[in-house]
Amino acid sequence: MRAAGRGPPRRGRSFREGRGMDGIRLETDRLVLRRFGVQDMAALHLLLADEEVNTFLPCFPSKSMEDTRRFYAQRLAEGKYCFAVCLKGREEPAGYIKADEGGCHDFGYALRKEFWHRGFATEAGRALAGLLKADGVPYITATHDRNNPASGGVMRRLGMRYCYSYEEQWQPKNTPVVFRMYQLNMDGQAGRIYRGYWEQYERHFIEAGV
């Protein structure tokens, strides 16, 4: 996650929304966010099979197209707010971005590494946050591994605020990870903090200077 700016976009200013036969389609200056299709599995496999990209993803690297199709079916296929991130003029997805409909409204993304450090995650994140706000979603949360501070930078550029950190035995990789939790309230309740992770994990704390 990387780029610039604060808060979700105003409708019609930094992104355009359309609804076609395949559902919602969002456009920004450089990107198109659209639904995934079966034609995208090869591009998704390139993303999921990359061991460097996989470092901070909640899965093991894909070893086969079957692994990729399973990830797609379990994590991306049915989500209302799951999108392929495509550069304009290129149908092949550069990655994905998503937000959960309920609970903590968890926000997440992944991009192939040739598209890192170019502001695409933040640009896509602003478009998705704008859609969520327009749909009445009250807030979103996002977490990042403390060893991946670049993702924290994107969260801040989206207007999200650091709330707390916690340690969990991260699955399926079964390794201890300290996550930092960020939140963006979109309904005017500025003081709300989602406390689900704080209450679930015994080791939780607030880091100074984050």
Using the predicted structure, report yes or no on whether residue 19 has a pLDDT greater than 70: no
- How many other CB atoms sit within 10 Å of the CB of residue 196? 13
pLDDT for 150: 94
* Entry pTM: 0.88
**At 200, is the secondary structure helix, strand, or coil?**
helix
Radius of gyration of the chain (CA): 16
Token pair recorded at residue 33:
């966010």
Q: Tens of pLDDT along 36-82?
A: 999 999 999 999 999 999 999 999 999 999 999 999 999 999 899 99
